[in-house]
Amino acid sequence: MRLYGYILREIFGILLVGLFVFTSILILNRFSKLTELILEKGVSLKDILLLFVYSSPSQLTFSLPMSFLLATVIVLGRLSSENEILALKACGIDLRHLFVPVSFMALLIVGFGLFNTSYLLAKSTDGAELTLLEIMKKSVSFDEKEGIFHDTIPGVVIYVDRIRREEGVLEGILISDKRDPKVPQLILAKRGGIRFDPSTLILHFNLEKGSLHRWEKAKDAYRMFSFENYAFSLNLSSLLNTARLVRKKPFEMSYKELKEKIEKARGAEKEELLFELYKKLSISLSPLPFTLLLVPLGIRRRTGGKFSGLLYGLSLFLLYYILLAFSERIRNA
């Protein structure tokens, strides 16, 4: 029927707008800690776009049902407020026909949602991890940073006077390490090399012919050591709070990965993983029960137009999210 196509087009248009807005907001909120790196540390546009793309599946898990709920309430509310529902009744059309396009759209979203949580989510998390590691490697790279003070790493300032790129050798190295305020230290080296280990997120310095100057504030003691060779390392997991951003959480695993972990887990860990599995399924399937609720509620709204529909839809999803958070709190109790 033409009615089905009309309603589907209306819902789909608003759904796309809502999906873009909600997903963008969720992504920006999650990666707010990357702001300094993006604005000040010379991260390329390509890396920024990759992070946004890889972050989308985890946010789509929530923004898909949210956008569907919003679009359905707005469309059905507009039909009601503009008396199109009344016109359908006058033409003898059973309002139960409205369930058909809404249910069809809900099934499409459920299908994509299950594919997203079972496959795309896990793959995108791996891709985001690799991209973040590349950003970290670039942020601590000295290829084009000779003769300047390099302060990307919190509490550490590094200066390299000269770089022999063909040999991978740094000359005239200064490292000011104030990560421990009680024992600040200064390292000077004639030359050295640098290596980043992505598996451990550790930056290794192999320094030659230099000295280490350390001030122990508690003892008010100054110590100086000379060295021919000195290995110095920096753990970069604190940089951009990467441990929190990169580590794959249970909700970001595929169903296969979750089931494998559930089989190996015991006690409280197993209960937590089972809860995450059921949570993934419930969120993906949520458009189906939404359909039973939204059609009756939508056609009963007579006033307010699109803006009241927006507020109405957001209120319904907020209630759904509160119930979801409440169930998680009960589990943790």
Q: Is residue 168 part of a domain?
A: yes
Same domain for 289 and 237, yes or no, is no
Give domain status of residue 167, yes or no.
yes
Domains identified in the chain, total number: 2
Pairing outcome for strands 202-216 and 185-197: antiparallel
Per-residue pLDDT of the chain (333 residues; tens, 9 = 90+): 688 888 899 999 999 998 988 888 877 766 665 565 555 555 677 777 887 888 788 888 888 988 898 888 888 878 877 777 778 777 877 778 888 899 999 999 999 999 988 888 878 877 877 777 777 766 666 655 678 887 777 788 888 888 887 777 889 999 999 988 888 999 999 999 888 887 777 888 999 999 999 988 878 888 898 999 999 888 776 654 544 444 567 777 777 778 888 888 887 788 888 888 888 888 888 888 888 887 877 776 555 555 565 676 677 777 877 877 787 777 666
Domain boundary among 244, 266, 291: 244
- Count of C-beta atoms within a 10 Å radius of residue 68: 29
Q: Cβ–Cβ contacts within 10 Å for residue 273, how many?
A: 20
Phi and psi torsions of 163, nearest 5°: -125, 125
Residue position matching structure tokens 């709190």: 329
109 and 201 share a domain? no
Range of the domain at 25: 2-139+249-332
| Same domain, residue pair 122 and 255 | yes
Q: Where are the alpha helices (DSSP H) in the chain?
A: 2-30, 35-40, 45-81, 84-90, 99-115, 121-139, 242-246, 255-264, 267-285, 287-300, 305-332
Please give the structure tokens belonging to residue 216. 């122990």
Choose one of 223, 244, 265: the last residue of a domain: 244
144 belongs to a structural domain: no
Shared domain for 192 and 272, answered yes or no, is no
Q: Domain ends where: 224, 244, 264?
A: 244
35 shares a domain with 101: yes
Closest C-alpha among 198, 209, 202 to residue 232:
202
Using alpha carbons, list the distances in angstroms from residue 196 to 104, 130, 140, 207: 51, 14, 9, 15
Is the overall model pTM greater than 0.75, yes or no? no
**CA-closest candidate to residue 75, choices 1, 22, 18:** 18
